[in-house]
């Protein structure tokens, strides 16, 4: 029984600690960097509505299932799936679900750290006044100089990985929990500060109308909303499962998931309310794409009153969001090494961090000295850079498959008595979750996957 299992890594001291940690895992660059620009590209208010529906129908059921599997197994994702497959008398091959999630998180962190390094460098560039009065060409030049210099990218990538390794090496309570107890409130405070500034621009209501007024959305926009709702909650990469393994038995998984999903969504919406008024006030384009954060907003920060302060706070916010996600991405590998290789947490953290750092070199070089090198996989993509290859394989193949298999195992293969024992919730709510996870969620995830591999 799960009540007899104990995680050798310790557990969260309270439900609040778990919620902050899991929210920190979910809240990352996707909320603050990606959500605003894909909203801008796909019709504003209607896109937001579709996204919120997808969070409820796709994200929440899978998150409940992933936390449930983690708490029942009380180990790293690989060992959890091995234990649960044996307990439910299922094929041992289900251990590959744990492997796929852990490898996906490792691959994601290798390039995530490089992008977080950009944000780190922009803190100091903004604080030093580099963007004050800068033109679009000047801002583009700053970004171009950064990504074309492998030594500078390597330095920032290294600093960010060391930051992550230090937190993870200190363990669940002294490392992960202590970090998120500071970082998550600080992240919310910084975000509210930028929103408060956005309210003074005279264009705040334009931002509100853009985000919440229904507009035209194409089929492609609906699929993007479905995909982002799934990915924004850090599902299918082992992070939520391993965090669930540290969750005390008496904590309600359903209630905790609702809080996490709500907090993650609020951060994404607040990011939009912070960014779009600034964009409109400076006559910029809300659908500027991935360059919105690093190429477009610095122009606005350089022209506005107190722009140096607001811009610096914004990039600190971006780094905090990336940091809380990074520590969750590295944790599954560290937990597995401690369990299976007899390492202590410090050694496991250093080993994993160095391996991730080394793989990150490929992403760094793909923006400069390897910019002419491309990879292709038949039926999936052609002529992708190293960075684009990792991004595509993880976001479009590994994570959707991970989420799909989590749904299948939890809803179809796990005994009802086992899942009821873990969730311990109202009968009606349990039945609703099981119906969504059995029928609605898998179909939606399959659609996202088929769209990603260009079948639909």
68 band by pLDDT with thresholds 50, 70 and 90: very high
Is residue 177 predicted with pLDDT exceeding 80?
A: yes
Tell me, what CATH number does 302's domain have? 1.10.4160
CB atoms within 10 A of CB 429: 12
3-state SS, one letter per residue, for the chain: CHHHCCCCCCCCCCHHHHHHHHHHHHCCHHHHHHHHHHHHHCCCHHHHHHHHHHHHHHHHHHHHHHHHHHHHHCCCHHHHHHHHHHHCCCCHHHHHHHHHHHHHHHHHHHHHHHHHHHHHHHHHHHHCCCCCCCCHHHHHHHHHHHHCCHHHHHHHHHHHHHHHHHHHHCCHHHHHHHHHHHHHHHHHHHHHHHHHHHCCCCCHHHHHHHHHCCCCCCHHHHHHHHHHHHHCCCCCCCHHHHHHCCCCCCCCHHHHHHHHHHHHHHHHHHHHHHHHHHHHHCCCCCCCCCHHHHHHHHHHHHHCCCHHHHHHHHHHHHHHHHHHHHHHHHHHHHHHHHHHHCCCHHHHHHHHHHHHHHHHHHHHHHCCCCCCCCEEECCCEEEECHHHHHHHHHHHHHHHHHHHHHHHHHHHHCCHHHHHHHHCCCHHHHHHHHHHHHHHHHHHHHHHHHHHCCCC
Angle at 329 between CA 323 and CA 332, to 5 degrees: 140
pLDDT on residue 225: 84
Is residue 278 predicted with pLDDT exceeding 60?
A: yes
pLDDT on residue 335: 96
376 band by pLDDT with thresholds 50, 70 and 90: confident
pLDDT on residue 1: 47
Mean pLDDT of 49-71: 94
pLDDT on residue 450: 81
pLDDT on residue 55: 93
Nearest Cα to Cα of residue 318 among 369, 255, 274, 286: 274
Give the C-alpha separation, 313 to 89, whole Å. 52
Q: What is the pLDDT of residues 209-261, one digit of tens each?
A: 988 888 788 878 887 888 788 778 889 899 999 999 999 988 999 999 999 99
4 band by pLDDT with thresholds 50, 70 and 90: low
Q: What percent of the chain has pLDDT over 90?
A: 62
pLDDT on residue 455: 54
2 band by pLDDT with thresholds 50, 70 and 90: very low
Give the C-alpha separation, 445 to 69, whole Å. 19
Give the C-alpha separation, 135 to 119, whole Å. 20
Q: What is the pLDDT of residues 8-37, one digit of tens each?
A: 999 999 999 999 999 999 988 788 878 888
Is residue 43 predicted with pLDDT exceeding 90?
A: no
> Where is pLDDT greater, at 198 or 350?
350
Q: What percent of the chain has pLDDT over 70?
A: 97
- Find the domain containing 419 and state its range: 2-452
Burial class (CB in 10 A: 0-12, 13-18, 19+), 185: exposed
> pTM to 2 decimals?
0.93
C-alpha separations of 214 from 39, 276, 284 in Å: 12, 16, 21
pLDDT on residue 219: 78
pLDDT on residue 454: 64
Is residue 190 predicted with pLDDT exceeding 80?
A: yes
CB atoms within 10 A of CB 359: 17
> Which of 46-50, 98-102, 106-110, 360-364 shows the lowest mean pLDDT across its residues?
46-50
Number of domains, the chain = 1
208 band by pLDDT with thresholds 50, 70 and 90: very high
**188-191: long-range pairs with CB below 8 Å, 24+:** 188/267, 190/313, 190/314, 190/316, 190/317, 190/320, 191/32, 191/267, 191/270, 191/271, 191/274, 191/317
Mean pLDDT of 113-135: 94
Give the C-alpha separation, 337 to 142, whole Å. 40
Angle at 27 between CA 320 and CA 235, to 5 degrees: 135
Q: What is the pLDDT of residues 386-398, one digit of tens each?
A: 998 998 888 878 8
pLDDT on residue 42: 85
Is residue 378 predicted with pLDDT exceeding 80?
A: no
136 band by pLDDT with thresholds 50, 70 and 90: confident
pLDDT on residue 290: 67
Mean pLDDT over the full length of the chain: 90
């Amino acid at each position: 029984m799960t009540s007899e299992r104990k995680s050798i890594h310790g557990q969260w001291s309270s439900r609040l600690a778990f919620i902050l940690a899991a929210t920190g895992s979910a809240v990352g660059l996707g909320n603050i960097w990606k959500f605003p620009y894909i909203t801008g590209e796909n019709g504003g208010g209607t896109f937001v509505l579709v996204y919120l529906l997808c969070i409820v129908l796709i994200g929440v059921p899978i998150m409940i299932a992933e936390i449930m599997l983690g708490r029942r197994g009380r180990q790293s994702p690989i060992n959890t799936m091995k234990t649960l497959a044996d307990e439910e008398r299922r094929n041992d091959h289900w251990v590959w679900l744990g492997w796929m999630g852990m490898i996906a998180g490792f691959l994601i962190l290798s390039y995530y750290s490089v992008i977080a390094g950009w944000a780190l460098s922009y803190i100091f560039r903004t604080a030093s006044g580099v963007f004050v009065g800068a033109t679009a060409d000047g801002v583009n030049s700053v970004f171009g100089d950064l990504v074309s210099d492998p030594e500078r990218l390597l330095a920032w990538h290294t600093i960010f990985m060391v930051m992550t390794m230090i937190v993870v090496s200190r363990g669940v309570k002294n490392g992960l929990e202590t970090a998120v107890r500071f970082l998550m409130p600080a992240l919310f405070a910084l975000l509210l500060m930028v929103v408060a500034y956005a309210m003074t621009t005279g264009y705040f209501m334009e931002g509100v109308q853009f985000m919440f007024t229904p507009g035209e959305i194409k089929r492609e926009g609906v699929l993007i909303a479905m995909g982002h709702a799934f990915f924004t909650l850090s599902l299918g990469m082992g992070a939520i499962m391993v965090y669930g393994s540290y969750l005390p038995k008496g904590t309600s998984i359903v209630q905790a998931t609702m809080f996490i999903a709500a907090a993650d969504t609020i951060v994404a919406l607040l990011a939009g309310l912070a960014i779009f008024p600034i964009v409109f006030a400076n006559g910029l384009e809300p659908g500027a794409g991935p360059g919105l954060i690093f190429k477009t907003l610095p122009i606005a920060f350089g022209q506005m009153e107190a722009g140096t302060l607001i811009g610096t706070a914004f990039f600190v916010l971006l780094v905090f969001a990336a940091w809380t996600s990074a520590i969750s991405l590295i944790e599954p590998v560290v937990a597995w090494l401690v369990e299976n290789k007899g390492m202590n947490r410090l050694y496991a953290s250093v080993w994993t961090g160095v391996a991730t750092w080394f793989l990150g070199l490929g992403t760094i070089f793909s923006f400069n000295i390897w910019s002419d090198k491309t990879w292709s996989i038949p039926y999936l993509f052609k002529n992708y850079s190293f960075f684009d290859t990792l991004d595509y394989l993880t976001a479009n193949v590994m994570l959707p498959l991970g989420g799909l298999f989590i749904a299948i195992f939890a809803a179809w293969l796990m005994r009802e008595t086992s899942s009821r024992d873990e969730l311990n919730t109202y009968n009606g709510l349990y039945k609703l979750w099981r119906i969504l996870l059995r029928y609605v969620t898998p179909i939606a995830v399959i659609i996202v996957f088929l769209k990603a591999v260009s079948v639909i």
